[in-house]
Amino acid sequence: MSSLRGMTQPELSKKLYKLIKTQNSQIGHYENAARDTHSVASQLSEWGESTGDEAVSDISDKLGVLLAEIAEQEDLFSQNLEESRGILKQIRNTESSVQPSRNQKAKIQDEIQKLKYKEPESPKLVILEQELVRAEAQSLVAEAQLTNITRQKLKEAYDVQTAAIIERAEKQIMLAQHARRLVGLLDDTPIVPGEERPPFEDTEAAREILNDAEASLRGWAPSVEPIQSSGAKVGANLMPSHVGQAGAEEQAMRTAEERVHGGATSATGTSEVTHGTHEQVQHSSYQPEGVSAPYPTHETATA
């Protein structure tokens, strides 16, 4: 079914759809790794207890605790990856929404070319010209919104993802260092048959290492450099916040007329075309799918 959904995606969003689908599989692997690490931690503790060696039992039990915490970090990382993936979906949804405006413009252009070839004096050319201006204006609005959300959300998604990679790495390093301190407590001096090992005297030291590990995690703070963003300058309509929808449409209309008519006045008069097409754009404003609030500040994104 997922392959079928991929085939039915608009051409514009196919590549990002595939990337997001692959990310879903990637996240599943991290979730599996977290579950497996939890299982390994539990089995390590059980095995250590079964050896009948007091030192091995104590150390393996506490190592299991640290491994379980490493598994928790893996699970948290997969959640952050899912958040980043969700942000990319907003670009994909907008790409899907933009495709029809591209198709409509291409269709009208094709009709004009055919009519110019068959009936160059046809009065229908004027009507098609007006439709092309409207389609061009709508397409300009859609394309501007797409490029704005693409840059904004790509930046946001990989701000989240790279910060998550650094957090996971830093916390796992801390936990691994404490685990090495635990391992270092185990006396592995070889003995001869019949020789008794001295009692394990580092139970308190081992417990203190776990306390240190817990304190390290509590005291951890992000060390990433903030990524500067102009996302706060993007309005709810995915245009610069100082540009309203009407202003964006007027700008799109002027540009569309220049492109379609090449700066020349049409047979019906420029002002007539402008009035008619502007009204149409206002009534059929492009509204991208999945638009969310503007890209947050770094503090908001990493909270």
Q: 45 and 26 in contact (C-beta within 8 Å)? A: no
Q: Is residue 50 part of a domain?
A: yes
Q: For 235-262, what is each residue's pLDDT tens digit?
A: 777 778 677 777 777 787 788 888 888 7
Does 156 or 238 have the greater pLDDT score?
156
Q: Is residue 150 part of a domain?
A: yes
Cα–Cα dist 88/22, whole Å: 12
**Tokens representing 117?**
């070839």
We report the CATH number of the domain holding residue 147 as: 1.20.1270.60
Residue 165's alpha-carbon distances to 77, 212, 218, in angstroms, are: 7, 23, 18
Q: Can you give the pLDDT at residue 122? A: 85
Q: Is residue 298 part of a domain?
A: no
Q: Is residue 141 part of a domain?
A: yes
Q: Is residue 132 part of a domain?
A: yes
Domain extent for 34: 11-187+201-223+243-262
24 pLDDT band, cuts 50/70/90, is very high
Cα–Cα dist 243/249, whole Å: 10
Q: Can you give the pLDDT at residue 5? A: 56
6 pLDDT band, cuts 50/70/90, is low
Q: Is residue 235 part of a domain?
A: no
Cα–Cα dist 15/21, whole Å: 10
Query: How many domains, the chain?
Result: 1
Q: Is residue 167 part of a domain?
A: yes
**Tokens representing 41?**
């931690």
7 pLDDT band, cuts 50/70/90, is low
**Tokens representing 157?**
């998604």
Q: For 63-99, what is each residue's pLDDT tens digit?
A: 999 999 999 999 999 999 999 999 999 999 999 888 8
Q: For 115-128, what is each residue's pLDDT tens digit?
A: 888 888 888 888 88
Residue 51: Cβ within 10 Å count: 11
Q: Is residue 3 part of a domain?
A: no
Query: Does the pLDDT value for residue 180 go beyond 80?
Result: yes
